[in-house]
Amino acid sequence: MAFPPPFAGIHAILYALFDSRERLDRGAMRRQTEICLSLGVHGMAALGLATEVSKLTLTERRMVMEWVAEDTGGQAPLAFTIFGSSVEEQVEQVRAAEQARADWVILQPPMVGSFGAGEYIRFFGRVAGATSLPVAIQNAPAYMGRGLSVEDIQTLVAQHPNIRVVKGEGPAVDIRHLIEVTEGRLPVLNGRGGIELVDNLRAGCAGLILAPDTIDYALRAHASFVAGDEDGAEAAYREMLPAAVFIMQSIESLICYGKRLFGARAGIEIHDRAPAMRPTEFGIGLVERHAARLGPFEAKTRRPT
């Protein structure tokens, strides 16, 4: 089944789950996807910052694509983030995403050097021009140290019609400005671990892409908001907010403690791949407190797609 944009709702971006020998754990990755689908996520994604994509070999990235495509089985829109330091490397991964039957791809800026906006516009344009898939641009300057202005994004969209979505990582006020300037024609999916979730929806976000540690609460908040129950949305958001703030101190914190919170709630043992932020005894205690308060994941009947 092909899913056209806009890809509205709450999407899960998967963690990279390793075994005790730092190898990708096939069983744990399958279980993670199964949990997300059972909760009723509106989309699946992998190979973003939460997936520790920079630590994965090209072979492992292709393997993750194949695994997640197999486990998702067409039940929800599927996206893969495209990571690479050159146009050639990114196009190669776009081809792999096409073979894995992705519904769309998310382009990350190359993590080499520091260049002006024009260079990034040309880079993204060449990669987007190599595929007919819908393309999102990941604009996360706070986390990645590079990004595009609203005007730069407008230029890219005008030149490449298959750039259909922006994957943001910014405050709700900034996201609102982007939506206003683009006159609502460009769907925006924010992230930031769900911080400002309800305000993002008020700003006009089509949805959010989140790691799965508190995604069940995000789904409740989204469902309430869409139903016109903003009080209910705020209530669900308040339940997840302490954990979201604890986790989202940095990308390293997300990978260290967010992944462990997911593991504690899912009953999956978590192992790191070096180099990694290592949890402290106090941090583990906080994970346990948040996991006890949030409770285990409870499957729901999936909505029709």
| Nearest-angstrom CA–CA distance, 256 and 113 | 27
Q: Can you give the pLDDT at residue 143?
A: 66
Q: Can you give the pLDDT at residue 193?
A: 96
**Residue 95 neighbours by CB under 8 Å, 6+ apart:** none
Domains in the chain, CATH or no CATH each = 9-294 (3.20.20.70)
Q: Can you give the pLDDT at residue 293?
A: 98
Q: Can you give the pLDDT at residue 305?
A: 42
Q: Can you give the pLDDT at residue 304?
A: 39
Q: Can you give the pLDDT at residue 255?
A: 98
Report residues of the chain scoring pLDDT below 70.
1, 140-146, 301-305
Q: Can you give the pLDDT at residue 148?
A: 83
| Nearest-angstrom CA–CA distance, 294 and 216 | 10
Q: Can you give the pLDDT at residue 115?
A: 83
Q: How far is CA 216 from the centre of its chain?
A: 15
18 neighbors 273 (Cβ within 8 angstroms)? yes
Q: What is the pLDDT of residues 209-251, one digit of tens each?
A: 999 999 999 999 999 999 999 999 999 999 999 999 999 999 9
| CA 209, 215, 221, 222 torsion-angle sign | positive
| Nearest-angstrom CA–CA distance, 256 and 158 | 39
